Structure 1
Amino acid sequence: MTWDWQYTGDVLPDLLHGLRYTLIATTLGYALALVLGLVWTLLRRTPYAAVNHTVRWITEFVRSTPLIPQLYFVFFVLPAFGLTIGSLTAGVLTLGVHYSTYTAEVYRAGIADVPKGQWEACTALNLPRSRAWLDVILPQAVRRVIPTLGNYLIAMFKDSPLLLAVNVVEVLNAAYQVGSRSLRFLEPITMVGLLFVVVSVISSILVRRLERRYATH
């Protein structure tokens, strides 16, 4: 089978439309993972053993189960309990919750890496606990883990084709649809691979620049 440039040009708009949904799902899912991961981390540091153990078991369960069964549960099982969610929303929520269990561990490592003297200084200055966290501890902790958080962004982007399982018309689903209509898969699937490489490389460059500007080593 030879490469058909005319066909490639014809299917490219459909692939770029699918890429748009891929980027939307990745961006929103990553934002949710960053916020929810911090929530898990802070809950793990509470003095209440019941909260600590409950959060630990929840995050371990989510992290230890594959992403596709989680997608199926959110999209196909929750409607049986009266909670119907759109495919894109289900994909964003599942990606966000799944990766939040990983970002939680990243935050935990960053917080543990903050020098003990910083905590002692907050106590000596009699800073309120909220100010100590927001103005002293978290800024230092996040700067220490920027490289790892950036890597999870790229990993989430590469996992986004799994949203095909819940009918999100992301870039791989778009390639499958146009290939099914023409029975030619060489061009659309190859273009999907190239689009993923391009976006991943650009993301890596941006993450490295962010790391050089803000991260501490």
Structure 2
Amino acid sequence: MLFGLHWDTSHGELAFAVSILPMLLIGMWVTIEASILGFFVAMVIGLGLAVLKGARLRIVRWPAMFVTEFIRDTPLLVQLFFLYYVLPDYGIVLPAFLTGALALGIQYSAYMSEVYRAGIEAVDHGQIEAAKALDLPGRRTFTHIVLPQAVPRVVPALGNYMVSIMKDVPVLSVVTVLEMLNVAKIIGDQTFDYLVPLSMVGGLYMILTLIASGIVRWVDVKLPKRGLALR
């Protein structure tokens, strides 16, 4: 029994699939929310790490490089357990969903920082020198010259990580997040029929990844290759 419901598997697999679909869709919505929040966190932290790793001062650059390597070389599950079980010992208690989304974002921020760095380094250095010659502030040079040209270059790679984040959401089930796969597992535990719910989860994941990939391709086509126009 899940959410106060009971499923009768005696009327065939099709009827069983129809009866569990609403619960799986609720789990799918949790999956989508965790993916979007985790992706947003990864984009923000990843950009910050990329900027810090590009700093001229070693005292700024080296710690950022160390943090990036530490995050990238540490399993997602370890980071998730640390946030969920260790932080409460220091008075930081977060809901399971938020903890999971943060863990996803932190894990993928290390990878996205390298994507950002590659996009930033691909911008013609002569334009940066020209901005300096015009006495533009460094922050304005970055936000109005470098970043608008770097973003279109990195959209496909960022989109791939969005899909990867979505496929890693089932890891959050270990901290009781009722995402799609966890819901399917609970249904299987209660009905002793795992084939139908797990097959449906696989199909729903395929639909989600195809939609996400299509959105990324659309954004990539629509973005101007010469950079974003900012006023």
Give runs of aligned pairs for residues 93-132 of structure 1, distance below 5 A.
93-132=102-141
Letter in 2 for 1:29: G
* Whole-angstrom CA distance in 1 between matches of 2:98 and 2:117: 28
Aligned to 1:71: 80
* Whole-angstrom CA distance in 1 between matches of 2:88 and 2:150: 39
In structure 1, the gaps of 5 or more residues are none
Aligned to 1:147: 156
Deviates further, 125-134 or 88-97: 125-134
Pairing 1:46–2:55 present:
yes
Aligned to 2:69: 60
Task: Say if 2:77 and 2:171, in contact at 8 Å, map to a contact too.
Answer: yes
Give the TM-score normalised by the residue count of structure 2: 0.90
Aligned to 1:201: 210
TM-aligned CA deviation for residue 46 of structure 1: 2.3
Q: What is the aligned-residue RMSD (CA, Å)? A: 1.5
* Whole-angstrom CA distance in 1 between matches of 2:71 and 2:135: 38
In structure 2, the gaps of 5 or more residues are 1-9, 227-231
TM-aligned CA deviation for residue 53 of structure 1: 1.1
Task: Say if 1:44 and 1:55, in contact at 8 Å, map to a contact too.
Answer: yes
Per-residue CA deviation, residues 125-164 of structure 1 (Å, 9 max, x unaligned), is 2211111111110010111111101111011101111111
Percent identity (aligned): 40
Aligned to 2:43: 34
Give the TM-score normalised by the residue count of structure 1: 0.95
How many residues of Structure 1 are paired with residues of Structure 2 in the alignment? 216
Task: Say if 2:54 and 2:117, in contact at 8 Å, map to a contact too.
Answer: no
* Whole-angstrom CA distance in 2 between matches of 1:132 and 1:105: 20
Deviating above 3 A after TM superposition, structure 1's stretches of 4 or more consecutive aligned residues are: none
Give runs of aligned pairs for residues 1-16 of structure 1, distance below 5 A.
4-16=13-25
* Whole-angstrom CA distance in 1 between matches of 2:164 and 2:74: 16
For the residue of structure 2 that corresponds to 1:145, the secondary structure is helix
Letter in 2 for 1:9: V
Distance 1:40 1:87, change over 3 A: same
